[in-house]
Each structure stands twice: as structure tokens, then as C-alpha cells.
């Protein structure tokens, strides 16, 4: 690495990044790689808006008195945090950025099957996001991200309808992306790229796309029903009008539990790639890992009732949902065991992507195991709606998905930008994120177990020490999240130009120049080997 | 569009209108708990006609038909597991 600005290389001059310099060339592009970059900017923006709301929550919880935000202000802040982080960061984060960029490259295609639909999905996402920002400016919404009835349909005073319309719109972006991925993977694979040669990243995105297409319409319908009841008094969920409030929870969680897997399945795909790359070995039990993604997608649809154990749901239904929830741990466990077996006797290099992958595995296992605890009926009654639940899902979604997002960013950054970053900063970031995350969320397990309810900002003073620890951890986490923006942007100007395959790994995306040309490949490749055909010859690396 | 196709589309439309009037008519009959069953049955026939003719599933390959069947299967999952709650809710 040198301090001197490194001028544009010949490869960069003919890359997708230079295929048109005007703003119009970006805003009207149908190149999947450029749309991925557009998504990267957009999701990063929303990540920081959602992060700012989280910061307000953590500042408020430093003291037990509720002396920073009003009751109403606190409700609106955590709702905003949830809505933005779930629908405008976590769901599109990996699929719409890295999935968009990498799937055509990984399967040897020139683009996605429907390039214009791909651009449309970005604009629809932005429309939904803009409406959410309007909700923020107009005073927010106070129902929690779950919009439970009858609070949302009869009593809430915030901008419920506008918020549901925003999410309704964003849902169509998800559906279009899922549809695009499914058709692309079915129809645009290069000659020789059989299903058994697909990288596991592609398998996990295929499973994610199935959920996107099958579950998101249910959310759209459910939110439309809330609006119908709120605006026109049609009795869907209101018992006095002949409705059933629990029906809302059933419909909402029929989407929202699989949505957890929309958030984490792409992350599992990223980690499969990072582990194989770090160990320089084929993934142990390829078919088990591939089909475990499909199994998670399917079984994930059968478990939603575990969110309703204390809602008044029938005890018999709860027992069924409890059993099914325990069953979904099996394919998740298969993945973790197979990653571990892949690392066994591997030539492991402690590069930043591998550190993020290890961080993911640790946090995912911990979050997953506490998920099993929550799936058990008797224990759930004790810890339901406490910070134990908050800690559990943050271990999966933040500890898991966000770690994988940063892992992917550090792994494919040289491919996306054509420049290498300073590795030591990447390693430090991975370590800071791991430490900051655990300091933030581990105390929340203890808080929840001791009885601290979620969504309360005035609490018993005995909980304050743990809340202060959590807020300190959040500060460290915030700094760690900002850190990559310094050295990654620095690398764009001063970073060493990257060879096609800087990590010395397998995969069609590493056979193209870094950054790739607009058409991805001069000639569509013919695939003759499996996805993790190690060892890679040294001359292939450079 | 060929004349036969237009005729077929009109025929299906008329059939759907007849089924719609059957739904309306059935709602006036004192069938008790069977009322929703009859309505859902008619709705299923209507949906099948739309899938098969208007959405042209009859011309599609097996994979596309499987995808459409998948959507139906997922709806069944939703109904079945919601029913597991609603039907047994007051029984403990």
C-alpha cells in the first residue's frame, strides 16, 4: 500500500464502473452490477437512519427514569428503528447488493433474467423508503414494527396507514427481486453449470427467493386489511365487528417468521463461501448444505405460532408450533457442523472475511440456541416479551446477518471496486464488531431473564448496570460500523489495484477482471468442475 | 388472437359469472356451518378456471405448473395451521 494516489488502470477503464460517467447512466442502468451499487448506497443510508434511532433508544435506557424521550417519543423511536432495519436494511441488505452483483457472475451469465425489472425494484424500494421518511418527518408511528391489532387498527394515533403503505410498496421490490433470481438461476446458467456445481451462495439465494415470492404477498394483504379496517371500519380483526385480533398475528407472522430467514439465509450463503475460501477446501457435505437452505425455507413457514404462545392461541396449536420450531434447528445445525468440518485440516488464513465468518458462526450458534429455548412453551411463558427475546433476535439478525454483510463487503470489495484495502483495519473492525456486539446484547439476555420487559423505557433501577453496559457496547459497535467507511473509501483512491483473484479461491466471479467489464465475460464460460475445486493453481490467482 | 380463443375466453367469463351468482344464491340458503364450505368450494372452482385458462397454465411446462401448485400448497399450509388454533381454541 502506498500513500500516493494510484491512477485508473487499463482494466478499470473498460470496467462496468466506467461504462458511462453521467448520473443518467447510473439512474437508468440495467447492469446488475451498477444496480447492486445503487442498492448498496440506499441500504447503507437506511442502516444509518435505523442506527440513529437505536442510538436514541440506548441513550434513553442509560437511566431508569425515562428522562430523555417522552413515552410517546420512545414508542415512535423503537418502531422507526424496527421498521427501517427490517424492511429497508436487513431484508434487501445481502440479496439486493451482493446477490444482485454476484449471482450472474457466479453462474456465468451476462445479467439477471429481467434487467429492467431489476432497476424497477430499486425504484420501488426507494418509493417505499421515501414514504417511510415522510412518516418519520410527519411524527412517526407508535405501534412497534409488528403493527399488532387492535392497537394499530383502532387506537394508535400515529401515521399507521402511511407506514403500512410504505411497507406494502417495498414488498413489491422484494417480490420482483425474488422472481428475478429464481428465473435467472433456472434459465441463465452457463453450459456445464449444473445444479450440483452452483456455489452455495446461489443455493441460499434461491431458497431466499422462494420465501420472498411466497410470503411477501401475505404481508401486503395483511397490511391492506389493517388499512381497510382503520379507514373504512370493515371488521377483519376487531371483535366488535365480528373480526379476530389473533387472525392478524397469524397472518403477520406467516410472513414475518419466514422473513427472518429472508434476512439470514443469504448470510448463511455468504458464510459458506467465506469458510471454503478461508480453508481452501471443498465445503464438507455440499448437498447437505445446499438442501439445508431449502429445508430452512420450507420448515420456516411452519413455525410462526411460536410468536403467539401467550396471545391466547390454542394450547394444542402451540404444542404443534413448538415441535415444528425445534425442527427448524436441524438444517441450521447441519450448516454449522459442515462449516466446522470444512475448516478441519484446512489451510486457514486469518483474513478479515474469515474473521467476520467466525464471528457470524459464534453469534449465530448462540442466537440459534437461545431460539430453541424460546421455542419451548413453558420457558417462553417466562421470558416472552422480555429483553431475552430482543437479545435472541439481535444475535441472529445483527450478530449474524450484519456480520455476514461486512464479511461479504470485505471479501468481494476488490472484485466490486478493483482496489484492495488495508487488511489490518479489516481485522480490527471484525474484532471490534464482535466485542461491541456482545457487550451490547449479552447483558440483554440477563435483563430479560431477570424480568426486564421489552418496549419499556422506565424500569426498575436494579436493571441499570446491565443497561449501561449495553449502551456502552452500542457505542463501541457504532464506531466499529463506521470504521470500514474510512479505509474502504480510502482504498478507492489509494488502494492497490486488485488482480482478478486476490484471495486465490474458486468461483467464476474470480475469473473475470477486477472490476468486471460491463458484459461480465468476454465469452460465456463452460463449466467443467465443481464449485470448490481446490487447490487453486498459483497462476490462476493473479 | 384466434376466434376460438376469444370464444373460449368469453365462455369462461360467462361460467365465472354463473359461479358468482351461485355464491350469492348460496349465501341466502340456511346451510349453517356448511355455508362457508360451499362458498370456498365455488371459489376454488373459479380460481382453478382462472389459473388454467386465463393464466394459461394449460399451455405451460411442468415446472411452471408446479410453481402454481406450490402457491396453492402454501395457502393450504396457512389455512391448516391457522385452523389448528381456531378450531381448538376453546377446548382447554
- Confidence at A21, pLDDT banded by 50, 70, 90: confident
Instruction: Check whether B1 has a pLDDT greater than 80.
Output: no
Alpha carbon distances (Å) from B31 to A214, A368, B38 = 34, 49, 9
Q: How far is CA A466 from the centre of its chain?
A: 27
- Could you tell me if A375 and A306 are in contact, meaning their C-beta atoms sit under 8 angstroms apart? yes
Instruction: Check whether A241 has a pLDDT greater than 90.
Output: no
Contacts of A308 in chain B (CB under 8 A): 85
Encode pLDDT of A41-65 as tens digits.
Answer: 999 999 999 999 999 999 999 999 9
Instruction: Provide φ and ψ at A58, rounded to 5°.
Output: -70, -35
Closest CA to A164 of A104, A225, A209: A225
Average pLDDT of the residues of chain B: 91
- Residue in A with minimal Cα distance to B69: A214
Nearby residues of A280 by Cβ (< 8 Å), 6 or more positions away: A346, A347, A504, A505, A534, A535, A536
Contacts of A312 in chain B (CB under 8 A): 89
Query: Any bridge partners for residue A453, and if so which?
Result: A386
Residues found in chain B: 92
Out of A214, A244, A316, name the one closest to residue B84 (CB).
A316
* A6 DSSP 8-state letter: P
Same domain, B66 and B83: yes
Q: Verify cis geometry, omega within 30 degrees of 0, for the bond prior to A535.
A: yes
Instruction: Check whether A357 has a pLDDT greater than 50.
Output: yes
Separation between Cα atoms, residue A418 and residue A11, nearest integer Å: 8
Record the cell numbers describing residue A401, joined without a space: 446477518
pLDDT at B36: 87
Beta-carbon separation of B89 and A301 below 8 A: no
Same domain, B16 and B52: yes
Instruction: Provide φ and ψ at A15, rounded to 5°.
Output: -85, 175
Contacts of A305 in chain B (CB under 8 A): 81, 85
Neighbours of A542 (CB within 10 A): 9
- Confidence at A227, pLDDT banded by 50, 70, 90: confident
pLDDT at A1: 46
b/e burial code for range B36-73 (CB count within 10 A of at least 16 → b) = eebbeebeeebeebebbbeeebeeeeeeeeeeeeeeee
Beta-carbon separation of A316 and B82 below 8 A: no
Element (H, E) at A186: helix A160-187
Contacts of A251 in chain B (CB under 8 A): 78
Average pLDDT over residues A279-300: 95
Structural domain range at position B71 = 60-92
- Could you tell me if A296 and A331 are in contact, meaning their C-beta atoms sit under 8 angstroms apart? yes
> What is the full DSSP assignment across A446-457?
HHHHHT-BTT-S
Same domain, B51 and B11: yes
Separation between Cα atoms, residue A440 and residue A391, nearest integer Å: 9
Instruction: Check whether A541 has a pLDDT greater than 60.
Output: no
pLDDT at A539: 52
Separation between Cα atoms, residue A325 and residue A155, nearest integer Å: 32
Record the cell numbers describing residue A20, joined without a space: 458511462
Instruction: Check whether A2 has a pLDDT greater than 60.
Output: no
Instruction: Provide φ and ψ at A76, rounded to 5°.
Output: -70, -30
Task: Please tell me the least confidently modeled range out of A108-122, A216-230, A275-289.
Answer: A216-230
Options 1.10.287.70, 3.40.50.880, 1.20.210.10, 2.40.430.10; CATH for A27-541 is 1.20.210.10
- Residue in B with minimal Cα distance to A245: B86
pLDDT at B51: 92
- Could you tell me if A503 and A169 are in contact, meaning their C-beta atoms sit under 8 angstroms apart? no
Same domain, B40 and B80: no
Q: What proportion of chain A, given as a percentage, has pLDDT over 70? A: 98
Average pLDDT of the residues of chain A: 94
Record the cell numbers describing residue A155, joined without a space: 387506537
A211: left (phi over 0), alpha (psi -120 to 50) or beta: alpha
Separation between Cα atoms, residue B80 and residue B82, nearest integer Å: 6
pLDDT at A542: 43
Contacts of B89 in chain A (CB under 8 A): 312-314, 317
Closest CA to A466 of A485, A451, A476, A483: A451
Same domain, B2 and B33: yes
Number of helices (H), then strands (E), belonging to chain B: the values are 3, 0
- Residue in B with minimal Cα distance to A213: B71
**Crossing angle of the two packed helices B3-27 and B34-49, in degrees rounded to 10:** 170
Instruction: Check whether A40 has a pLDDT greater than 90.
Output: yes
Beta-carbon separation of B89 and A312 below 8 A: yes
Separation between Cα atoms, residue A375 and residue A81, nearest integer Å: 25
Q: What proportion of chain A, given as a percentage, has pLDDT over 90? A: 86
pLDDT at A426: 97
Separation between Cα atoms, residue A36 and residue A164, nearest integer Å: 26
Same domain, B53 and B75: no
Q: Verify cis geometry, omega within 30 degrees of 0, for the bond prior to A515.
A: yes
Contacts of A322 in chain B (CB under 8 A): none
- Residue in A with minimal Cα distance to B83: A317
Nearby residues of B70 by Cβ (< 8 Å), 6 or more positions away: A214
Give the domain ranges of chain A.
27-541
* B50 DSSP 8-state letter: I
- Confidence at A3, pLDDT banded by 50, 70, 90: low
Instruction: Provide φ and ψ at A358, rounded to 5°.
Output: -65, -40
Nearby residues of A11 by Cβ (< 8 Å), 6 or more positions away: A418, A497, A513, A514, A515
pLDDT at A242: 86
Instruction: Check whether B84 has a pLDDT greater than 50.
Output: yes
pLDDT at A153: 83
Alpha carbon distances (Å) from A322 to A319, A385, A390, B64, B74 = 5, 17, 19, 34, 20
Separation between Cα atoms, residue A279 and residue A339, nearest integer Å: 10
pLDDT at A463: 97
Average pLDDT over residues B7-16: 96
pLDDT at A428: 97
Specify the number of domains making up chain B.
2
- Confidence at B91, pLDDT banded by 50, 70, 90: low
Separation between Cα atoms, residue A361 and residue A399, nearest integer Å: 9
Task: Please tell me the least confidently modeled range out of A64-68, A154-158, A302-306.
Answer: A154-158
Encode pLDDT of B16-33 as tens digits.
Answer: 999 999 999 998 998 888
Average pLDDT over residues A27-32: 96
Beta-carbon separation of A317 and B74 below 8 A: no
Encode pLDDT of A296-333 as tens digits.
Answer: 999 999 999 999 999 999 999 999 999 999 999 999 99
Same domain, B2 and B25: yes
Same domain, B15 and B45: yes
Instruction: Provide φ and ψ at A441, rounded to 5°.
Output: -105, -25
Same domain, B29 and B40: yes
Element (H, E) at A196: none
- Could you tell me if A164 and A223 are in contact, meaning their C-beta atoms sit under 8 angstroms apart? yes
Instruction: Provide φ and ψ at A517, rounded to 5°.
Output: -70, 165
Instruction: Check whether A346 has a pLDDT greater than 70.
Output: yes
Instruction: Check whether A540 has a pLDDT greater than 70.
Output: no
Q: Cell match 463501541: residue?
A: A476
Contacts of A315 in chain B (CB under 8 A): 88, 92
* A417 DSSP 8-state letter: H
Instruction: Check whether A514 has a pLDDT greater than 70.
Output: yes
Average pLDDT over residues A251-255: 95
Same domain, B77 and B40: no
Alpha-carbon torsion angle A225, A229, A231, A233, nearest 10 = 150
Same domain, B49 and B70: no
ipTM for the predicted complex = 0.84
Interface residues of chain B, partner chain A, Cβ below 8 Å: 63, 70-71, 74, 77-78, 81-82, 84-89, 91-92
Encode pLDDT of A174-199 as tens digits.
Answer: 999 999 999 999 999 999 999 999 99
Test the A interface: residue of B70, B85, B86 with most A CBs within 10 Å: B85
Test the A interface: residue of B81, B86, B90 with most A CBs within 10 Å: B81
Separation between Cα atoms, residue A418 and residue A370, nearest integer Å: 40
- Could you tell me if A158 and A139 are in contact, meaning their C-beta atoms sit under 8 angstroms apart? yes
Separation between Cα atoms, residue B23 and residue B38, nearest integer Å: 8
Amino acid at each position: 500500500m502506498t500513500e500516493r494516489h494510484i491512477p485508473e488502470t487499463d482494466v478499470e477503464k473498460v470496467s462496468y464502473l466506467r461504462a458511462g460517467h453521467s448520473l443518467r447512466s447510473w439512474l437508468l442502468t440495467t447492469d446488475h452490477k451498477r444496480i447492486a451499487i445503487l442498492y448498496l448506497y440506499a441500504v447503507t443510508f437506511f442502516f444509518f437512519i435505523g442506527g440513529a434511532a437505536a442510538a436514541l433508544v440506548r441513550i434513553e435506557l442509560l437511566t431508569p427514569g425515562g428522562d430523555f424521550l417522552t413515552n410517546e417519543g420512545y414508542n415512535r423511536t423503537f418502531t422507526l428503528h424496527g421498521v427501517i432495519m427490517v424492511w429497508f436494511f436487513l431484508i434487501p441488505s445481502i440479496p439486493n447488493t451482493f446477490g444482485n452483483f454476484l449471482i450472474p457472475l457466479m453462474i456465468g451469465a451476462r445479467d439477471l433474467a429481467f434487467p429492467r425489472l431489476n432497476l424497477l425494484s430499486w425504484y420501488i424500494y426507494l418509493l417505499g423508503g421515501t414514504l417511510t421518511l415522510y412518516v418519520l418527518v410527519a411524527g412517526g408511528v407508535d405501534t412497534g414494527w409488528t403493527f399488532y391489532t387492535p392497537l394499530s387498527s383502532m387506537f394508535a394515533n400515529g401515521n399507521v396507514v402511511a407506514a403500512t403503505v410504505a411497507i406494502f410498496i417495498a414488498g413489491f421490490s422484494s417480490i420482483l427481486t425474488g422472481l428475478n433470481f429464481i428465473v435467472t438461476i433456472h434459465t441463465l446458467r452457463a453450459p456445464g453449470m449444473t445444479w450440483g456445481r452452483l456455489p452455495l451462495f446461489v443455493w441460499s439465494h434461491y431458497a431466499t427467493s422462494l420465501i420472498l415470492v411466497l410470503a411477501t404477498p401475505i404481508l401486503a394483504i395483511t397490511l391492506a386489511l389493517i388499512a381497510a379496517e382503520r379507514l373504512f371500519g370493515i371488521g377483519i380483526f376487531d371483535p366488535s365487528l365480528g373480526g379476530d385480533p389473533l387472525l392478524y398475528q397469524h397472518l403477520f407472522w406467516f410472513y414475518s417468521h419466514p422473513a427472518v430467514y429472508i434476512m439470514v439465509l443469504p448470510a448463511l450463503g455468504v458464510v459458506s463461501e467465506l469458510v471454503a475460501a478461508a480453508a481452501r477446501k471443498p465445503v464438507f457435505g455440499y448437498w447437505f448444505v445446499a438442501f439445508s437452505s431449502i429445508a430452512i425455507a420450507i420448515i420456516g413457514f411452519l413455525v410462526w405460532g411460536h410468536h403467539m404462545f401467550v396471545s391466547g392461541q390454542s394450547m394444542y396449536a402451540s404444542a404443534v408450533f413448538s415441535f415444528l420450531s425445534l425442527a427448524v434447528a436441524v438444517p441450521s445445525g447441519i450448516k454449522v457442523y459442515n462449516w466446522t468440518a470444512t475448516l478441519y485440516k484446512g489451510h486457514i488464513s486469518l483474513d478479515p472475511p474469515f474473521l467476520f465468518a467466525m464471528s457470524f458462526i459464534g453469534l449465530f450458534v448462540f442466537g440459534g440456541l437461545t431460539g430453541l429455548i424460546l421455542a419451548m412453551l413453558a420457558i417462553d411463558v417466562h421470558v416472552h416479551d422480555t429483553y431475552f427475546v430482543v437479545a435472541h433476535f439481535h444475535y441472529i439478525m445483527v450478530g449474524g446477518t450484519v456480520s455476514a454483510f461486512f464479511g461479504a463487503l470485505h471479501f468481494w470489495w476488490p472484485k466490486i471496486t478493483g482496489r484492495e484495502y488495508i487488511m489490518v483495519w479489516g481485522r480490527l473492525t471484525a474484532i471490534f464488531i464482535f466485542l461491541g456486539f456482545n457487550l451490547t446484547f449479552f447483558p440483554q439476555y440477563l435483563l430479560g431473564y431477570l424480568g426486564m420487559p421489552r418496549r419499556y423505557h422506565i424500569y426498575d433501577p436494579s436493571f441499570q448496570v446491565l443497561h449501561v453496559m449495553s449502551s456502552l457496547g452500542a457505542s463501541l459497535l457504532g464506531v466499529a460500523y463506521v470504521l470500514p467507511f474510512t479505509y474502504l473509501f480510502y482504498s478507492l483512491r489509494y488502494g492497490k489495484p486488485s488482480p482478478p483473484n486476490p484471495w486465490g479461491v474458486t468461483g467464476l466471479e474470480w475469473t473475470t477482471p477486477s472490476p468486471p467489464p460491463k458484459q461480465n465475460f468476454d465469452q460465456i464460460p463452460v463449466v467443467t468442475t465443481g464449485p470448490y475445486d481446490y487447490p487453486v493453481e498459483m497462476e490462476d490467482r493473479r | 388472437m384466434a376466434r376460438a380463443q376469444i370464444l373460449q375466453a368469453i365462455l369462461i367469463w360467462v361460467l365465472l359469472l354463473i359461479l358468482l351468482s351461485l355464491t350469492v344464491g348460496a349465501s341466502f340458503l340456511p346451510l349453517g356451518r356448511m355455508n362457508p364450505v360451499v362458498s370456498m368450494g365455488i371459489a376454488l372452482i373459479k380460481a382453478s378456471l382462472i389459473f388454467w385458462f386465463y393464466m394459461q397454465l394449460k399451455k405451460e411446462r411442468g415446472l411452471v405448473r408446479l410453481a402454481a401448485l406450490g402457491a396453492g400448497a402454501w395457502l393450504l399450509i396457512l389455512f391448516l395451521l391457522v385452523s389448528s388454533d381456531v378450531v381448538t381454541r376453546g377446548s382447554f
